[in-house]
Amino acid sequence: MRETPADAEIRSHQFLLRAGYIRQNTSGVYSYLPLGKKMLRKIETIVREEMDAIGGSEVLMPSLQQAELWKETGRWYTYGPELMRLHDRHEREFALGPTHEEVITSLLRDEIKSYKKLPLTLYQIQTKFRDEKRPRFGLLRGREFIMKDAYSFHDTKDSLDATYEDMKQAYTNIFTRLGLNFRAVIADSGAIGGKDTHEFMVLSDIGEDTIAYSDSSDYAANIEMAEVRMDYPAPEAGEQPIAKVETPGVRTISEISEFLGVQPADCVKTLVFMVDDEPVIVLCRGDHDVNDIKVKNALDAKVVELATPEQVKEATGTDIGSLGPVKLPTGLKVIADHAVRSMRNAVTGANEDGYHFKNVNPEKDFSADAYEDLRFIMEGDPSPDGVGTIKFARGIEVGHIFKLGTTYSEPMDGKFLDNNGREQPYIMGCYGIGVSRILAAMAEQFHDDNGLAWAKEMAPADIHLVPVNIKDDDQRQLADDLYHLLTSYRYDCLYDDRAERAGVKFADADLIGLPVRITVGKKAAEGIVEVKFRKTGETVEWKKEELTDKLRSFFG
């Protein structure tokens, strides 16, 4: 493909298209051409080896899933339009599987009735379907894609913990073998609960998630989940008496800090959240941002949303922009981030349009019902594991491991007899890897301005063999000889025997990105070829006789 498709927003996707790895069939639906399919198979082989190594057994479950199963867990009703649905000739309803918790639980509940058969880990590599509202970035968010999904079944939480750790190590092995720059990131467990859940993120500027990681340890967390563990200094001495100041038209933290000539860190930010439909006041330092997931966890709530201006007015009698913690209506719950406690002579809204307080001091001028970790972590904060300083990066999620507990086994009646003869629901884990998404993430990591540039361990083929002029007998002969020689040494060779100009062939070789290009040109009669290494751009001239030895020392 010579031209860049107009709707290909990111470089890696453009290169995968232009170099002929993939083609779009329709929005979010792709075909894998031979080079793309080769990459998929290599990725799958690594995934399979690592799953087998931790005792996983490969299965294959159907894409057609009876609606009845999804009704047992209620997800038929809650999954939304992402779930592709159809019916058969007898008007029976089916889901086109985006995931297989229901199917595997229904299979196992008929088979595994005793703790003696547990634990058990099953996995599959399979095409999945999810009707994304806005498919984008090519393979990164498609509607038909390839996943490895694994499910484990246990009689105890300890057993689940052990498999979870095995899985975490297996995933680490997989992404390491793929050559990816990734982090295992503490993630949000969403609606399902359970504390341990990790996302595996490939670091990339186009990632949709922000990762907070330590510059000196392997700590990493989705920014939504990163704990803030700081010993804020005790407040300095020198409390001054609270004073009201006129601040006409001043509403935001940046406006008030500029108006009064103070730092945002000297101001208290006052927000109202609707927590399970009740208003709650949340305070943080002016240079910080409140993390609603932490608010939700702190209050053990189901739904947390920022209050609308109307809800703020109703709860506090005050307009947004003038809110402050001093003299709030009684009965309103107030929680504050730890950082607020150590503030001294702070600035806050006065709950009165056009006025602020200065010299506000916590536990003197206002009090909070609780001080909790409520804010987003920031670059420069100490890492929560005590080692190093936090930095931010963007990440592409390529894997997710998850302790499900009994979320599926309870409603689906997936039960076994424990060693006391008591019926118990399976304790489950689930573990996903986006196989086709990995291809996109790899392309994002392994490219330069001229195209893809794969690592030698993980490329669709090893060598791009390019005779400059296929009509020159010496070149053709040497190229043919080399093709057979290299193939006999088990190198996977792409042989460009087209009658195209050398420039076109070189550009295509760069685009496709095999680790080594061997050019057969003017010195063919002397048995000399040019070898170019894609990653470094380095070129050398090697004689035919020394080629295999030297290639072996490169490929190892």
| Residue 23 in contact with a second copy, rule: CB under 8 A | yes
Q: How far is the CB of 117 from a second copy (least distance, A)?
A: 9
Closest approach, Cβ 32 to a second copy, in A, equals: 4
Residue from 49, 55, 133, 457 in contact with a second copy (CB under 8 A): 133
Considering the complex, state which of residue 143 and residue 400 has its C-beta at the smaller distance from a second copy: 143
Using CB under 8 A as the binding rule, whether residue 129 contacts a second copy is answered as: yes
Nearer to a second copy (CB atom), residue 66 or residue 450: 66
Task: Between 13 and 285, name the residue whose CB sits nearer to a second copy.
Answer: 13
Q: Considering only CA atoms, which of 496, 499, 502 is closest in space to residue 483?
A: 496
- Part in contact with a second copy (CB under 8 A); list of ranges 105-113, 267-275, 393-401, 411-419: 105-113
* Burial readout 162-174 (b: 16 or more C-beta within 10 A, e: otherwise): ebbebbbebbbbb
Q: Is 89 near a second copy (CB under 8 A)? A: yes
Binding of a second copy at residue 34 (CB under 8 A)?
yes
CB of 89 to a second copy, least distance (A): 4
Q: Which is nearer to a second copy, 23 or 391 (CB)?
A: 23
Structure tokens at 541: 């001239």
Instruction: Beginning with the edge strand found earlier in the chain, give each strand of the sheet holding 346-349 in spatial order.
Output: 243-246, 355-360, 346-349
What's the closest the beta carbon of residue 27 comes to a second copy, in angstroms? 9
Q: Which of 4, 7, 9, 41 binds a second copy (CB under 8 A)?
A: 41
Q: Is residue 326 classed as helix, strand or coil in its secondary structure?
A: coil
**Single residue of 122, 281, 442, 516 touching a second copy by CB under 8 A:** 122
- Determine, following the binding rule CB under 8 A, whether residue 88 of this chain makes contact with a second copy: yes
Q: Is 103 in the site for a second copy (CB under 8 A)?
A: yes
Give the burial class of 355: count Cβ atoms within 10 A of its Cβ; 0-12 exposed, 13-18 middle, 19 or more buried. Answer: middle
Q: Is residue 81 part of the contact set for a second copy (CB under 8 A)?
A: yes
Please write down the long-range contacts of 128-135, taking CB distance under 8 Å and 24 or more positions apart.
Answer: 128/63, 128/97, 128/98, 128/99, 129/63, 129/84, 129/96, 129/97, 129/98, 130/82, 130/83, 130/84, 130/98, 131/81, 131/82, 131/83, 131/84, 132/28, 132/82, 133/81, 133/82, 135/27, 135/28
Residues 31 and 18: their CA atoms lie apart, in Å, by: 14
d(C-alpha 266, C-alpha 499), whole Å: 71
Options 116-124, 235-243, 244-252, 442-450: segment touching a second copy (CB under 8 A): 116-124
Applying CB under 8 A, the span of 109-117, 170-178, 298-306, 443-451 interacting with a second copy comes to 109-117
Binding piece for a second copy, criterion CB under 8 A, among 32-40, 207-215, 232-240, 454-462 = 32-40
Is 107 an interacting residue with respect to a second copy (CB under 8 A)?
A: yes
Of 119, 71, 73, 125, nearest to 93 by C-alpha is: 71
Q: In this chain, which of 8, 13, 30, 290 binds a second copy, going by CB under 8 A?
A: 30
Q: In whole angstroms, how close is the CB of 40 to a second copy at the nearest point?
A: 7
- Distance of alpha carbon 288 from alpha carbon 226, whole angstroms: 14
Report the b/e string of 8-45 with b at 16+ CB within 10 A.
bebbbbbbbbbbebbebeeebebebeebbebbbebbbe
Structural element, H or E, at residue 529 = strand 528-533
Q: Which residues contact 83 (CB under 8 A, 6 or more apart)?
A: 70, 75, 76, 95, 96, 98, 130, 131
Stretch in the footprint of a second copy (CB under 8 A) among 123-131, 297-305, 345-353, 534-542:
123-131
How far is residue 165's CA from residue 156's CA, in Å, rounded to a whole number? 15
Locate tokens 């062939």: which residue?
A: 505
Please choose, out of 18-26, 240-248, 326-334, 504-512, the segment that lies near a second copy by the rule CB under 8 A.
Answer: 18-26
Shortest Å distance, C-beta 351 to a second copy:
46
Query: Which of 4, 45, 127, 252 touches a second copy (CB under 8 A)?
Result: 127
Closest CA to 515 of 499, 491, 497: 491
Q: Is residue 131 at the binding interface for a second copy, with CB under 8 A as the rule?
A: yes
Specify the stretch interacting with a second copy by CB under 8 A; choose among 85-93, 324-332, 400-408, 529-537.
Answer: 85-93
Q: Does 29 bind a second copy (CB under 8 A)?
A: yes
Kind and range of the H or E run holding 486: helix 473-488
Nearer to a second copy, 377 or 512 (CB): 512
Binding to a second copy in span 45-64, by CB under 8 A: 57-64
- Looking at the Cβ atoms of 68 and 541, the one nearer to a second copy is 68
Contact stretch for a second copy (CB under 8 A) within 27-35, 235-243, 249-257, 267-275: 27-35
| Number of residues lying near a second copy (CB under 8 A) | 48
**Mapping DSSP to helix (H, G, I), strand (E, B) and coil, where does residue 22 land?**
strand
CB of 463 to a second copy, least distance (A): 17
Give the shortest CB-555-to-a second copy separation in angstroms.
21
Residue with structure tokens 């709030």? 328
> Which residue among 66, 159, 311, 469 contacts a second copy (CB under 8 A)?
66
Please write down the long-range contacts of 504-507, taking CB distance under 8 Å and 24 or more positions apart. Answer: 505/466, 505/468, 506/466, 507/450
294, containing H or E segment = helix 292-298
Write out the binding residues for a second copy, residues 456-515 only, by CB under 8 A. Answer: 498-499
Length of the chain: 556
Stretch that binds a second copy, among 121-129, 183-191, 275-283, 526-534 (CB under 8 A): 121-129
Residue recorded with tokens 């082989």: 45
**Residues at the site binding a second copy, with contacts judged by CB under 8 A:** 23, 25-26, 29-34, 36-38, 40-41, 57-66, 81, 84-86, 88-89, 96, 103, 106-107, 110-111, 116, 122, 124, 126-127, 129, 131, 133, 143-144, 498-499
